Structure 1
Amino acid sequence: MTGLFVTFEGGDGAGKTTQAMLLQDWAVAQGRTVVRTREPGGSEVGELIRDIVLHHRGEVAPRAEALLYAADRAHHIATVVRPALQRGEIVIQDRYLDSSVAYQGAGRVLDSGEVRELSLWAAEGLLPDITVLLDVDPATARGRIDADDKPFDRLEAEHGSFHERVREAFLTLAGNEPERFLVLDASRPVDELAAAVRAKVDEVLSRSGDVGTRG
């Protein structure tokens, strides 16, 4: 059996967690077994790395940051994601390698191609079947984050131009792989977004013998 790998991408405050939760609820109601996870932090090792890359108070050099994300990804894919897919389950994941290309590549002004190759090497070439990109203007996203009244993590605290580069990188990635990406305007009502995501997942699940782009 081969499962389905769905990732949610977008800037901070785009609503990825909400949409991942709603998709999980729908899939479970359909009788499917779901593994919902995230990067960084989808494993015990990943939680340790997450604390460094998002909450460490000192400086983390951009290349070191990219390598830490890749280390988390290598362990997470090997121990959580691939086993679930091999069991025929649906994996719903908050962030994956496209976030590394956008945040560490464009955001930190590293070579995006090198960051992508590093991520693919770490994940042994695994690509999602569907990547939902929730596109949101950085100013709108910042307003949502402010409304949560929680301390910013290291990436959320970056200046506006950083988040503009991240947004443009996500849109470029989606333009380069339209067959994998579902791009949605994150300013739309939550229920409309959820319906669009469900329709895409249902479409892919209904394709007989065509449920994977993975390596």
Structure 2
Amino acid sequence: MFISFEGIDGSGKSTQARVLAEALRAEGRDVVLTREPGGSPGAEEIRRLVLEGDPDRWSAETELLLFTAARRDHCERLIEPALAAGKIVICDRFADSTRMYQGLSRGNLRPQVDALHKMMIGREPDLTFLVDIDAETGLARAKGRQGPEERFEDFGLALQQKMRAGFLALAREFAPRFRVIDGARPPEAIAAEILAQTRAALA
């Protein structure tokens, strides 16, 4: 099974992806935890290009090409081999983030995002958890990390608000695979709900 986690910056999705991986491993399941952009050596190099530096470093069109290149390498070298070996793959972000960040929020490039995805990737997750949280809280958390990868956070609150609305719309568009999780609760409660839903999907 291929499981992805989505959400605005600071939603807690990365933490929840890690907690789910640990819980499933404790049950004896073979799990690969990965992330996007990144997950393979080539994709990690592209990650540094797109997540660091000035907010205006790349146009939305250039970002789309870079993210798609990273995803293709990630799928070829890690995701597809792991799934073929019968493993559970948990990915912190996948194509839905590109549909939002490049397809909606910065360039209105959704048709191009979908066309490139169909041509070069051709896979959706089996299950996607959208950890939903208000934009103000998410941005404050994300900025509080004070790491080098803050290029998208530096676009400000308006982008995060647009992204949240867009992710919720995407969850309705792809309703069969999306699960919207209330991210404002204690992390333990969120993790318990995600684990229960994952177990049901694996049954």
Q: TM-score, normalised to structure 1's length?
A: 0.90
Preserved contact between residue 97 and residue 116 of structure 1 (Cα < 8 Å): no
Matching residue within 189, 192, 195 for 1:192 = 189
Gaps of 5+ in 1: 207-215
Distance 2:14 2:159 in 1: 22
Pair 44,178 (structure 1): closer, same or farther in 2 beyond 3 Å:
same
SS at match of 1:36: strand
Pair 196,117 (structure 1): closer, same or farther in 2 beyond 3 Å:
farther
1:203 alignment partner in structure 2: 200
Distance 1:182 1:95 in 2: 14
Distance 2:61 2:38 in 1: 19
After TM superposition, list the pairs within 5 Å mapping 1:112-191 onto structure 2.
112-123=110-121, 125-151=122-148, 153-191=150-188
1:104 alignment partner in structure 2: 102
1:211 alignment partner in structure 2: none
2:87 alignment partner in structure 1: 89
2:20 alignment partner in structure 1: 23
Is 1:65–2:69 an aligned residue pair? Answer: no
Distance 1:117 1:201 in 2: 30
Deviations 1:134-179 (A, max 9, x none): 1111101122123334355211111222112211111111001211
Q: For this pair of structures, how many residues does the alignment match?
A: 202
Distance 2:189 2:116 in 1: 35
AA in 2 matched with 1:21:
R
RMSD (Å) for aligned C-alpha atoms: 1.3
Preserved contact between residue 9 and residue 16 of structure 1 (Cα < 8 Å): yes
Deviation at 1:110, TM superposition (A): 2.3
AA in 2 matched with 1:126:
R
Distance 2:119 2:124 in 1: 11
Deviations 1:67-120 (A, max 9, x none): 000000111111100100000000010000000001111111322132123123
Distance 1:114 1:14 in 2: 27
Distance 1:77 1:121 in 2: 13
SS at match of 2:153: coil
Preserved contact between residue 139 and residue 157 of structure 2 (Cα < 8 Å): no
SS at match of 1:70: helix
Query: Identity over aligned residues, as a percent?
Result: 39
AA in 1 matched with 2:15:
T
Deviations 1:171-210 (A, max 9, x none): 111001211001011111111111111111111110xxxx
SS at match of 1:184: strand
Is 1:32–2:59 an aligned residue pair? Answer: no
Deviations 1:29-88 (A, max 9, x none): 111111100011111001110011011346212100110000001111111001000000
1:8 alignment partner in structure 2: 5
AA in 1 matched with 2:14:
T
AA in 2 matched with 1:77:
C
Gaps of 5+ in 2: none
